[in-house]
């Protein structure tokens, strides 16, 4: 996840089905007192992040196939 550029990371986080910010979700999980439950919540949130990244990469691949390199980050720089 940390290999993504900042703009891409923002796009991935924007795909989360959360009405709360990334920081709020992490803080809520971090303050769970029961360690086993905290681990479960972190694992669940990690799965949500991976799913959001997969959706983003799928959309990115589709757009690149549809529009070519015109929309790539390198072309815009």
Per-residue pLDDT reduced to its tens digit, 10-68: 677 776 766 778 888 889 999 999 999 999 999 998 998 888 888 888 888 888 888 88
Distance of alpha carbon 22 from alpha carbon 39, whole angstroms? 17
Q: Is the Cα torsion angle 12, 73, 2, 7 positive or negative in sign?
A: negative
Q: What is the pLDDT of residue 55?
A: 85
What is the pLDDT at residue 3?
A: 54
Residue pair 55/16 in contact by the 8 Å Cβ criterion? no
Q: What is the pLDDT of residue 33?
A: 95
Residue ranges per structural domain of the chain: 6-76
Specify whether the CB–CB gap between 50 and 56 falls below 8 A: no
What per-residue confidence (pLDDT) applies to 60? 83
**Could you give the CA distance from residue 62 to residue 56 in angstroms, rounded to a whole number?**
10
**Cut 0.85: pTM above it:** no
What pLDDT shows up at residue 5? 61
């Amino acid at each position: 996840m940390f290999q993504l550029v900042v703009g891409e990371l923002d796009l991935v986080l924007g795909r989360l089905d959360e009405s709360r910010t990334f920081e709020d979700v992490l803080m809520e999980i971090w303050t769970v007192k029961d360690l086993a439950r905290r681990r479960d919540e972190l694992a669940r949130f990690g799965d949500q992040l991976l799913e959001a990244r997969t959706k983003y990469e799928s959309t990115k691949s589709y757009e690149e196939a549809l529009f070519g390199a015109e929309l790539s980050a390198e072309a815009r720089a």
